[in-house]
Chain A
């Protein structure tokens, strides 16, 4: 990805398709990246509609496909969708909590042509894992990770890292080694939706981070060639933003359970948008012509300091959702950037949150991601 600017746009392809099959989930992670409105998504696409989406996107060049959610295992037609994905030539990934999985299904997925499986853990000890997930799921996850390797899948283990589990990072990595993961994603919480609500309970301190980063790098070296550890730093502590989604409408296409098409799975919260739906529009039209996908393509929409910045082709001005959440205007520079006029306010807020001691943080309740809370928070 080097080019930005309107001229390059017509050639961009939705290389990555994220199929959020359902927002139903047996877990209740307080950092879930799903929207607060999960309870409103009752009208899920049916099997035929999903198959049509898979075909259309593949025709446009999509190669990577993630079956995600919520918990995709709750879809009874998952095997059918996997088989179709394989037939179309996708490289498909099941992104799951492992809850609802059993060995027969893992074998059936393999038979259908699933390429790899990503299991999330909440922590490396049972008690914290089960607390954070809001269910007794730890042992089952552990067992399922073993089954996934037994069936010869490349396995990704994903652990969302935050204030309440970051000090266990070494145990977490040891657990992933024990489970023979091929890839490990230690993903710092990104603050959207549910995690934004729980920010005060989740944002790690600078000291915690520095320590965790040392441990992660140490294991990256030790495991070289055997296991790939991807450590995603929390961008609130950075001075340059991430190149969010590799640029808006550049390679990512998310389809929500109801068929809404989003350039990023967090984009739903942006005001003034009508997200197109695959029930009414072709994927091609959505990608090429919809206002939602064109709004932040290229750099015409940028304001200062991004407009005249040498790095605008590198980070595309950062994350639009973060710009909106923290400044109230999605066309501003992402305030993670030190050049943003809002950067100082973000730093002050981070300092205010992390000045509270871990002991105090632990006594404060987290808002769990479930349908009841969703109905209350987003009526």
Chain B
């Protein structure tokens, strides 16, 4: 994964260092890791829910557009994914 822009053909997966799940008590999606928990915003949760180690970034964006028609989300999604890679939450399947 290069530091800069993420390609639409990249296939992300959740890093084995984290677990992504819905937390009822927090009413949000979270990432759990040794001795900590990141609470995710609604949109971050929507995006990570689609990360499955099979879908490309392009497919993830397409799926979100279908779910939220009319929302201009390309850049937001790319920015979030880039940040998520930066935090180590995501890895490329071919990494």
Bound CA span A241–B23, Å: 32
Bound CA span A89–B33, Å: 13
Contact of B25 among A13, A64, A118, A152 (CB under 8 A): A13
Asked if A15 lies at the interface with its beta carbon under 8 angstroms from chain B, I say yes
Interface string of A208-251 (1 = CB under 8 A from B): 00000000000000000100000000000000000000000000
Q: Is the CB of A156 within 8 A of B34?
A: yes
Q: Is the CB of B19 within 8 A of A115?
A: yes
Asked if A182 lies at the interface with its beta carbon under 8 angstroms from chain B, I say yes
Residues of A82-125 contacting chain B, CB below 8 A: 89, 91, 93, 115-116, 118
Q: Is the CB of B35 within 8 A of A93?
A: yes
Asked if A63 lies at the interface with its beta carbon under 8 angstroms from chain B, I say yes
How far in angstroms is the closest Cβ of chain B from A73? 19
Q: Is the CB of B21 within 8 A of A89?
A: yes
The size class of the interface chain B forms with chain A is 10 to 19
Bound CA span A140–B66, Å: 54
Q: Collect the chain B residues with CB atoms within 8 Å of residue A15's CB.
A: 37
The size class of the interface chain A forms with chain B is 10 to 19
Bound CA span A164–B26, Å: 43
Asked if B48 lies at the interface with its beta carbon under 8 angstroms from chain A, I say no
Bound CA span A61–B26, Å: 8
Asked if A183 lies at the interface with its beta carbon under 8 angstroms from chain B, I say yes
Q: Is the CB of B34 within 8 A of A61?
A: no
Q: Is the CB of A154 within 8 A of B25?
A: no
Interface string of A6-21 (1 = CB under 8 A from B): 0000000101000000
How far in angstroms is the closest Cβ of chain B from A237? 24
Asked if A60 lies at the interface with its beta carbon under 8 angstroms from chain B, I say yes
Asked if B90 lies at the interface with its beta carbon under 8 angstroms from chain A, I say no
Given A115-B32, A152-B16, answer yes or no on A64-B88 (Cβ-Cβ < 8 Å): no
Binding site for B on A (CB under 8 A): 13, 15, 60-61, 63-64, 89, 91, 93, 115-116, 118, 152, 154, 156, 182-183, 225
Given contacts A63-B30, A154-B17, A156-B35, 15 further A-B contacts (CB under 8 A): A13-B25, A15-B37, A60-B25, A61-B23, A61-B24, A61-B25, A61-B26, A64-B32, A64-B35, A64-B37, A89-B23, A91-B33, A115-B19, A115-B34, A182-B17
